[in-house]
Amino acid sequence: MTIASELIALLERFGARSTLPRIRALHLPPAFIPGTKSAEFCAIELEDGSIGLSYMLLGDTLASLAADTDIATLAGSDSLAVARWYVSESGARRTIGFAVVNALTRCLFERAGFIPDSAADSIGLLDPQPGEHIGMIGFFGPLVPRIVSSGARLTVAELDPTMAGEGAGYRVTLDASELASCSKVLSTSTVLLNDTLDAVLANCRSARYFAMIGPGASCLPDPLFERGVTLLGGNWICDREGFIDALKHGGAWGAHARKFALLREDYPGAAALLQRLK
């Protein structure tokens, strides 16, 4: 099974044990402003207030989002049916489906009384050391100086050919096989949208630590942990109204959410969470 199909299967088990909230709204940011992060993520809100995020700038997602009139009428829809778009659809619908997957994960965590711990740092507990070879999937610009200043060697795997080359203490490559000697890897959660996680992990077999971070890294971690991910670091929305207002106006929403870090060894597993449901 693919990661997407495994996630949907877990959520179907959730739906078999508990009535799932329907979709309350799709929240979109204003028009994208180049060079900013003001419009990178959309949010799905469920009727119980659970919110899930998804990255919008892959491929033709923005164009297909504007052209799909059904997406504008999601309010009241069956959340599990829309979550299945993550498996069956592409473009904007797949993106929206993944946001619902994240929202339903938040719903399950809340109902099971499972609250992930807050992240201790912004780099997925990577703790880079002098001489270590650190890998990065996707260019996390603000995090690069912290890794480089530690004395570690940094290799960044990117899909954008315009970014390839040498940087200040790091190298950006289009060849993910260059990560083969990395002992620690930090990955963007967009690998869950473009179906590249399995290929990425195959190029990171030497990594004893593989952290996936980002606002979209908030799904059930079971299939990720089973494949070798050691930490999932997503966003936990704490102030629903403040977050929605900031997102819709293109403002910073960090003050309305906290970053969490879920280690593989600290996670009880979806089966245990489902057993906790009343």
> Can you give the pLDDT at residue 119?
87
Please answer whether residues 123 and 147 qualify as being in contact, where contact means their C-beta atoms are separated by less than 8 angstroms. Answer: yes
> Can you give the pLDDT at residue 65?
79
> Can you give the pLDDT at residue 149?
93
> Can you give the pLDDT at residue 271?
97
> Can you give the pLDDT at residue 38?
54
Ranges of the chain whose pLDDT falls below 70: 32-38, 278
> Can you give the pLDDT at residue 63?
76
pLDDT digits (tens, 9 = 90+) for 150-196: 999 999 999 889 999 999 889 999 999 999 999 999 999 999 999 89
pTM of the model: 0.93
> Can you give the pLDDT at residue 7?
98
- Token pair 């597993």 is found at 269
Instruction: Give the CATH fold of the 3-116+238-252 domain.
Output: Enolase-like; domain 1 (3.30.390)
- Give 218's contacts (C-beta < 8 A, 6+ positions apart): 52, 53, 102, 105, 106, 232, 234, 235, 236
Please answer whether residues 128 and 150 qualify as being in contact, where contact means their C-beta atoms are separated by less than 8 angstroms. Answer: yes
> Can you give the pLDDT at residue 33?
53
CA distance 213 to 210: 10
Hey, where are the domains in the chain? 3-116+238-252
Whole-angstrom CA distances from 193 to 205, 240, 261 are 21, 25, 20
CA distance 92 to 67: 9
CA distance 157 to 166: 12
In the chain, which ranges are E strands?
A: 23-27, 41-46, 51-55, 133-137, 153-157, 165-166, 170-173, 184-188, 209-213, 231-233, 235-237, 257-259, 262-263
Whole-angstrom CA distances from 210 to 184, 216, 227, 228 are 6, 16, 10, 7
DSSP states of 47-106: TTS-EEEEE--STTHHHHHHH-GGGGG-TT--HHHHHTHHHH--HHHHHHHHHHHHHHHH
